[in-house]
Amino acid sequence: MRIVFFGYGQLGATVLRGIAPRHEVSLVLTHRAEFSGLGEPDVERAAAELGLPVRYSATAREPELHRLLRDLAPEVIVSTNWRTRVPPEVLRIPARGAINTHDALLPAYAGFGAVNWVIRNGEEETGLSVHYMADELDTGPVITRSVVKIGPHDTAGYVLDRLLEEYVPVTLRALDLVGQGHRGEPQPAEGASFYHRIGIDDTRIDWRDSATVVYNLVRGQSDPFVNAWTTHDGVRLRVKAATLPTRAHGGTPGRIVKADDGGVVIACGRPGDGDDRGVVLLEVATEDGPTVRAVDHFTAFGGYLR
């Protein structure tokens, strides 16, 4: 089919490289690499490698872009990791509609940062949903899905790698269904949720939270994402890896207790909450420093993380 592709970053480039050999991509629309400070030129690089024409836009609202899209007369718009809401008038241009590959099992986890939120919330599975795009973000009928299981100690980086393996197959499967006239299944209202973008303030550790909540935050914000963080002696400290202790360590939330289980135990939770056993920090990094073992970073015990 004749396609116009909307995308950004690693996810967008992965799908573009996967669909270009099978379909006619007449235009690639992406954001400038520096868009929102993200600095991800992956899609424009992939388009250059594939010899595809590229246009740049932040919002896809330019009238001249709309005229170009109408002239190109695509059968389908394919979107992956496009970072702004596509105008409704653009969604109506392609003859067979516009589809998006979303990094969650809709209707839950519409919006942003789904790979992170599912782990932070302790979910046992996630996946991809390819859906028709509607005026409201991530709400259109679902064409097909791919499910990825989440283990109790899986990190966001690991789950992202698993999802990356599924992006191309599920998108190609959806395009086959679109070509056959499949109109998707409407999303139920039950279980629907929308999540906001994750910023630096959303990743700060609150040591009053339970051990499970703190641990899930750390693994949900693993590399390559913004890490969970705390402060030590007034300096921001990123937590790169952590684990749960083999035995409980109680005490005041944030207290640097002792070396154990290959790392440094930090007390957390509230007494009596049933999960105030502490968390073991394994690897940490200062804002501009390298990743080091927690046992090498903490030279004394008894202080506090804030």
8 A C-beta contact, residue 201 and residue 224:
no
| Distances 228 to 122, 164, 175, 283 between C-alpha atoms, Å | 16, 23, 37, 12
Which residues, 6+ apart, have CB-to-CB distance to 209 below 8 Å? Answer: 217, 268, 269
Q: What's the token pair of residue 91?
A: 């969604």
8 A C-beta contact, residue 32 and residue 1:
no
* CATH number for the domain formed by residue range(s) 2-194: 3.40.50.170
Q: Which CATH class is domain 201-297?
A: alpha beta
| Distances 180 to 80, 91, 96, 99, 175 between C-alpha atoms, Å | 21, 19, 10, 14, 9
Nearest to 163 by CA among 237, 245, 81: 81
**Positive/negative CA dihedral, 148, 118, 288, 292:** negative
State the residue for tokens 């109790």.
Answer: 152
| Distances 211 to 56, 110, 202, 302 between C-alpha atoms, Å | 44, 27, 17, 19
pLDDT in tens, the chain (306 residues): 999 999 999 999 999 999 999 999 999 999 998 887 778 999 999 999 999 999 999 999 999 999 999 999 999 999 999 999 999 999 999 999 999 999 999 999 999 999 999 999 999 999 999 999 999 999 999 999 999 999 999 999 999 999 999 999 999 999 999 999 999 999 999 999 999 999 999 999 999 999 999 999 999 999 999 999 999 999 999 999 999 999 999 999 999 999 999 999 999 998 777 889 999 999 999 998 999 999 999 989 999 999
| Distances 114 to 71, 107, 128, 198 between C-alpha atoms, Å | 35, 12, 10, 10
Q: What's the token pair of residue 118?
A: 């599912």
Q: What's the token pair of residue 76?
A: 């389908």
Could you give the residue ranges of the DSSP H alpha helices within 127-225?
156-179, 211-220
For the chain, give every domain's residue range. 2-194, 201-297
Between CA 249 and CA 21 the distance in angstroms is 56
Phi, psi of 44 (to 5 degrees): -65, -35
| Distances 293 to 206, 238, 268, 290 between C-alpha atoms, Å | 21, 12, 20, 10
pLDDT of residue 38: 77
The b-or-e profile of 186-213 (16+ CB within 10 A means b, else e) is: ebeeeeeeebeebeeebbebebebbbbb
Which residues, 6+ apart, have CB-to-CB distance to 99 below 8 Å? Answer: 76, 77, 78, 79, 130, 131, 132, 133, 143, 174, 175, 178
Predicted TM-score (pTM) above 0.85 = yes
